[in-house]
Amino acid sequence: MDDIVTVSGLGKRFASGFTALRSVDLSIRRGEILALLGPNGAGKTTLISSICGLTTPTSGEIRVGGHDVVHDYRKARALVGLVPQEINLEPFEKVINTVRFSRGLFGKPRNDAYIDEVLRKLSLSDKRESKVIELSGGMKRRVLIAKALSHEPRVLFLDEPTAGVDVELRKDMWRVVRALKDDGVTVILTTHYIEEAEEMADRIAVINDGEILLVEEKAALMRRMGQKQMIIELQEDVTEVPPALAGYDLHRNDDGDLVYTYDAKADRTGITRLLSDVAAAGLTLRDLQTRQSSLEDIFVGLVGKDPA
């Protein structure tokens, strides 16, 4: 797969003297969904604003479709669509005019067939003539996406597309994003929600304190960094980890089960010996379960704090 966006050595220092990005390198592959994950203030918005040509970098280079975003701004900008965090729509304007106007801003000739197709894909056809003020929050977010797609970009940035929206709407948004990918659009979404990255992304980039900590295939990342937990349910009530098992990485959970954390990739997981030591300690198994650690566990391990 070739790269549609390349970011090299990108630095951004604001006039205040604050450094928001430090020598960021990132390649975005054509047709992928990349989730950019990071805690508050990590630099996510600054990075996507720089790629979209809205923030001028202090150092480094960004190319979109081979065009330099600073020196060849118009060509690079025409290839990207940006769905901002905030809903910034004209409340009394009709949906169709909002989207048409946005296309006009890019100097593209009017093309109602294309706009109608965008509205149809976003399930907005029956709101075509409605005023923005009459729409629900979820519909307004769809209009933001329609606006961002109005000039036929190949790369779509969604900045926190589901911040503060309910579960139903979030799932709805995920369906929309998947459909865009099916149409060949490259999608980059920034999110606080690990669940969102886990659900949607082909690859995950983690940014913290202005630096990219890693970029990796989601599945490989989870395999590489994932630990497993084995939950040992006992017939007996135990109030603490029995002293005979003190040598294992065990803790007691709220249900009174023993939880063993181990590296599923290790040559020796220690499970066999642990289970025989459980029996030797006079304890009887009721049930056993194992669980792969989630992306959230991995994130906390990397960044040292929760994403939100």
Ligand X SMILES: Nc1ncnc2c1ncn2[C@@H]1O[C@H](COP(=O)(O)OP(=O)(O)OP(=O)(O)O)[C@@H](O)[C@H]1O
* Residue 41 contacts ligand X per CB under 6 A: yes
Indicate which single residue of 5, 10, 20, 135 sits in contact with ligand X (rule: CB under 6 A).
Answer: 20
- Of the candidates 132, 135, 98, the one whose C-alpha atom is nearest the C-alpha of residue 115 is 98
Q: How many residues bind ligand X (CB under 6 A)?
A: 12
* Residue 127 contacts ligand X per CB under 6 A: no
| Residue 18 vs 73, nearer CB to ligand X | 18
Specify the stretch interacting with ligand X by CB under 6 A; choose among 33-41, 70-78, 120-128, 212-220.
Answer: 33-41
| DSSP characters over 78-101 | HTEEEE-SS----TTSBHHHHHHH
* Residue 40 contacts ligand X per CB under 6 A: yes
Task: Count Cβ atoms within 10 A of the Cβ of residue 231 and give its class: 0-12 exposed, 13-18 middle, 19 or more buried.
Answer: middle
Handedness of CA 294, 299, 302, 306 (dihedral sign): negative
| Residue 47 vs 146, nearer CB to ligand X | 47
Specify the stretch interacting with ligand X by CB under 6 A; choose among 38-46, 111-119, 170-178, 261-269.
Answer: 38-46
What's the min distance (Å) between Cβ of 296 and ligand X?
A: 16
* Residue 16 contacts ligand X per CB under 6 A: yes
CB contact set of 223 (below 8 Å; sequence gap of 6+): none
Indicate which single residue of 4, 28, 44, 83 sits in contact with ligand X (rule: CB under 6 A).
Answer: 44
Specify the stretch interacting with ligand X by CB under 6 A; choose among 13-21, 27-35, 111-119, 129-137.
Answer: 13-21
| Residue 10 vs 132, nearer CB to ligand X | 10
Determine if residue 173 is left, alpha or beta; phi over 0 gives left, psi from -120 to 50 gives alpha, anything else beta: alpha
Helices vs. strands in the chain: H and E counts, helices first: 10, 14
Instruction: Please check whether residue 15 is in contact with residue 60, taking contact to mean a CB–CB distance below 8 angstroms.
Output: no
What's the min distance (Å) between Cβ of 48 and ligand X?
A: 8
What does each C-alpha distance from 47 to 50, 60, 250, 252 come to in angstroms? 5, 12, 41, 42
Q: By the criterion CB under 6 A, which residues form the site for ligand X?
A: 14, 16, 18, 20, 38, 40-46
